[in-house]
A and B are shown apart, each in its own frame.
Chain A
Amino acid sequence: MRPLSPIPSVLASAAVAVLALSACSGGTVRGAGDSTASNGGAGSTFVYAANLDVVTDWDPATSYSNEIIAMENVYESLTKYDSATQKVEPRLATSWSSADDGKTWTFTLRSGVKFHSGRTMDATAAKEAIERTISLKGGPAYIWDSVATIDTPKPTSLVFHLKYAAPLDLISSSAYAAYIYDTKAAGSEDLTKWFGTGKDAGTGPYRIAQWAKGQETEVKLRASSDYWGGWKGKHYTDLEFRVTPQLTTAWQLLQRGDVNFVERLNPQLFAQAEKNKQGLQTSSTPSFQNLLALFNTAQGPMSDLRLRKAVQRVIDSKGLLSALKGADTAATGLVPEGLLGHATDLGLTHDVAAAKTLLQQAGYGPGKPLTLEMTYAQGDDDQQLFATLLTSALDEVGVKLHAQPLQWNAQWERGKSADPAKRQDIFVMYWYPDYADPYSWLINIFHSANPPSFNLTYLSDKSVDARIDALPQLTANDRPQAEKAYVDVQRELIEKQAVVAPLYVQRYQRAYSANVGGYTDNPAYPNVVFAHDLTPGG
């Protein structure tokens, strides 16, 4: 138990008693009276309360951020991964087969599918989309690295010839960079610019109806009448994304029926939602999404290995999980449980004495104080909690932490800044795989990249690069060896080079209206609600 101060004062008690006599603070709900969510019937609208800005990039080739929650309802990939069955399911492709020891893959495409532009989706169109995605090299275009050529022997047949064996059915289910879209939708206009204005060229059940960047209701989608899946039965015809950073606001909107779905509540509100079984439903699902603290290895004080190790030892993972009250689980290694290469013995060791020794060795102490800059996503209470705990823990070892919450776009832009001096010392962000495979953590975050995109440790190590580059082929040829290689690389990054601190793995805790039927969480598509699969009215 912590020591009490020696003088519990009468004066303090008196002041507290006086203060306690007054009224309580409270808040207001934005958009009061602007009720848009509906409970079914023709023209029903599903309103999704997102706690971060929705769109950073509308181009299906390069999109690689929060817009996934809208994009997955507008665009489709060849296949889809079902996290519950852990199997790849048909989507735009109805069947597929591999030959030549996994180096040739043939996908049979669904007939009668039209893009929102009106053009027929066939093998040629699919090939053009994938080739454009590869050529732009944006987002996670690396997922197609194994592809040598693509043939289109028939309008419904797409054949991939690979440089090395790879699980292309799984790759094709990727949440990013696997969208099939009409590359000719813009006509003579520049397609990238055309997408940038909020237009779409997908095959999905919904089309972009409105995009109002910076507005509370940022995105509106409307049913695409030509959708191959059809609109028989009850479906939501409209889908809205309402940016609601304040959890209490989201909670109140949900209770009032102004939104149908809240992406994430804090543990306390989630517990309340679980109790409120009459008007609400909840789901809690283990995810592939973990929170990482990335250390700047290229510039500033954190380029010193001893300092990075000191910060790792200062982090009290057990304390963090305790304060998070069941919303998250312990992170061991970079790869969450359920994926190849998950390590069970790569947790952080909380050792304040060792941290102090490392700091002294690095030359920091009373005569040479140290200040670190950390950025994290504004509106994420779990990250804020971590920031508070780390600030306190670092203060204990004499290090001042300036933890700055930023809107995700601003945080990312600062992390990618062309001027290294403007970058932060510690970048906190979530990561989830592009497809149900661990490779995306390593290739995106720890492979050298100039200019940086998600490599926000700014690590540039040829030996690590080579080990990462070898992983896909090794996974295809020798899974046990690949498992070992993944664990070894993680050990190198976490223990030896100390470039990252894995903090926790999130549980997806959703709260949604009782009248929403058919919702299941699919962690392979983080935070996505496949609205066409839902039944309004329960």
Chain B
Amino acid sequence: MSLATVAVRPSRLGRVSRLVRADLLAAVGAVLLVLIVLASLAAPWLAPFPQDGTTATHATQSLLPPGGGHLMGTDQVGRDVLSRLLYGGRTSLFIAAVVLLLAAAVGVALGVIAGYAGGVVRDVIMRVTDVFLAFPALLLSLALAVVLQPSVRTAILAIAATWWPWYTRLTASIASSIRSRGYVDAARCLGVSPARVMLRHVLPNSLTPVLVQLSLDAGGVILTAAALSYLGLGAQEPTSEWGLMVEQGQALFTTDWWVVTFPGLAILVTAFAFNVLGEGLRAALDPRRNAR
């Protein structure tokens, strides 16, 4: 590395500053997400009443309005809403992370195989993918969740089962274009096995759009998980989960607004943050935009 190169490279702070200026909304999303993730991870230490986030109830303190003792009030069974909101964040983010991990692992693997192998293999994988994509994701998730016992695990499986085809389709098209590139041909000519070619050459070059898609999908997964819990098919008591909190508080919306409003806001803000960050990433990583 030459000294000249070092001299013209902007400082780390400068790069961050340039990125923030380039896409303020994405930066806001990123900050919100950092706050939400940190607050959720630190729930046992941050929650004013940690036991309320798990199993405790206090029937005689039900529906206290927001105030000194309880910043966001209490719910029908006297649990501190703020504590449950913080713990609920852990559940919602955990669901999003696991769903996306599962969906990406399965979807990307199948997509790379379909794109690289081509022919019958591609046709079979893509037709199966089409079948899954033919159903609205939420409806398919609902159907699966009804068959299985309602729980966080059920919600994860039900959502992941409907999410992977998008990654397959995305990766298959990228892998298909990569397979005819010169460096892939060269590897093949050198006798590198197909599995190694896919793993070392095709997969790494397919990951950038997948990462963008993951950040865009996270909000959708959180919304879907909340919808399943709202319908009684996802997280169950005493688990803190935002969708479940909305479901339990919605009958109180006109009388004890705090029970439903805060978890509703949490879902809204988190989904918003993921979406704007995803859009920002998409724009930032778009080679056409970077070329200009």
Enumerate chain A interface residues (CB-CB to B < 8 A): 1-2, 4-5, 7-9, 11-16, 18-20, 22-27, 246-248, 251, 266, 268-269, 271-272, 316, 319-320, 322-323, 325, 378, 381, 384-385, 387-389, 391-393, 395-396, 402-405
Contacts and interface: CB of A to CB of B under 8 A. Distances in A.
B236 A403 contact: yes
B46 interface: yes
Contact of A5 (B32, B49, B250, B264): B49
B247 to A, nearest CB: 9
A269 B57 CA distance: 22
Contacts of B76: 323, 385, 388
A245 B274 CA distance: 33
A24 B255 contact: no
29 contacts: A2-B56, A5-B48, A9-B42, A11-B38, A13-B71, A14-B35, A19-B262, A20-B265, A22-B265, A24-B261, A24-B264, A25-B246, A26-B264, A27-B250, A266-B251, A268-B252, A319-B57, A323-B59, A325-B62, A385-B76, A385-B77, A388-B76, A388-B237, A388-B238, A389-B57, A392-B56, A395-B55, A402-B236, A404-B149
A23 B268 contact: yes
Contact of A11 (B42, B77, B237): B42
A26 B261 CA distance: 8
A325 B155 CA distance: 33
B238 A395 contact: yes
Contact of A15 (B35, B69, B254): B35
B41 to A, nearest CB: 11
Given A5-B49, A25-B246, A392-B238, A322 B261 contact: no
Interface in B249-275: 250-257, 260-269, 272
B192 to A, nearest CB: 49
B232 interface: yes
Interface of A is mostly: helix
Contacts of A16: 71-72, 82, 85, 262
B268 A25 contact: yes
Contacts of A403: 236-237
Contacts of B150: 404
Give 7 nearest A-B pairs by CB, closest first.
A25-B264, A319-B59, A268-B255, A392-B57, A395-B55, A323-B59, A12-B46
Nearest to A265: B251
Given A7-B45, A323-B77, A389-B77, A271 B255 contact: yes
Contacts of B260: 25
Contact of A319 (B60, B262, B268): B60
Given A11-B46, A269-B254, A323-B76, A19 B266 contact: yes
B270 to A, nearest CB: 9
Given A18-B32, A322-B59, A391 B238 contact: yes
A14 B38 CA distance: 12
Interface residues of B, number: 58
| Most chain A CB neighbours (cut-off 10 Å) among B51, B232, B237 | B237
B35 A11 contact: yes
Interface in B207-232: 232
| Most chain B CB neighbours (cut-off 10 Å) among A14, A316, A322, A378 | A322
A19 B245 CA distance: 16
A384 B250 CA distance: 13
B55 to A, nearest CB: 4
A521 B33 CA distance: 54
Given A381-B251, A391-B237, A18 B269 contact: yes
B100 interface: no
Interface in B64-95: 69, 71-72, 76-78, 82, 85-86
B254 to A, nearest CB: 7
A2 B47 CA distance: 13
A243 B219 CA distance: 33
Interface in B25-44: 32, 35-36, 38-39, 42, 44
B250 A246 contact: yes
Given A391-B238, A396-B55, 19 more contacts: A2-B58, A4-B49, A5-B48, A5-B49, A12-B46, A12-B47, A14-B35, A19-B265, A23-B268, A25-B253, A25-B260, A25-B261, A26-B264, A268-B251, A319-B57, A320-B59, A322-B60, A322-B62, A323-B77
B87 to A, nearest CB: 12
B78 A323 contact: yes
A316 B268 CA distance: 36
Contacts of B280: none
| Most chain A CB neighbours (cut-off 10 Å) among B254, B256, B260 | B254
A11 B251 contact: no
| Most chain A CB neighbours (cut-off 10 Å) among B47, B82, B232, B253 | B253
A530 B166 CA distance: 56
A385 B55 CA distance: 14
Nearest to A251: B254
A396 B238 CA distance: 12
Nearest to B44: A5
A8 B232 CA distance: 32
| Most chain B CB neighbours (cut-off 10 Å) among A11, A22, A25, A268 | A25
Contacts of A11: 35, 38-39, 42, 46
B248 interface: yes
B115 interface: no
A391 B260 CA distance: 21
Nearest to B89: A15
A320 B263 CA distance: 24
A5 B265 contact: no
| Most chain A CB neighbours (cut-off 10 Å) among B46, B51, B266 | B46
Given A16-B72, A22-B268, A272 B254 contact: yes
Contacts of B172: none
B150 to A, nearest CB: 7
B63 interface: yes
Contacts of B36: 15
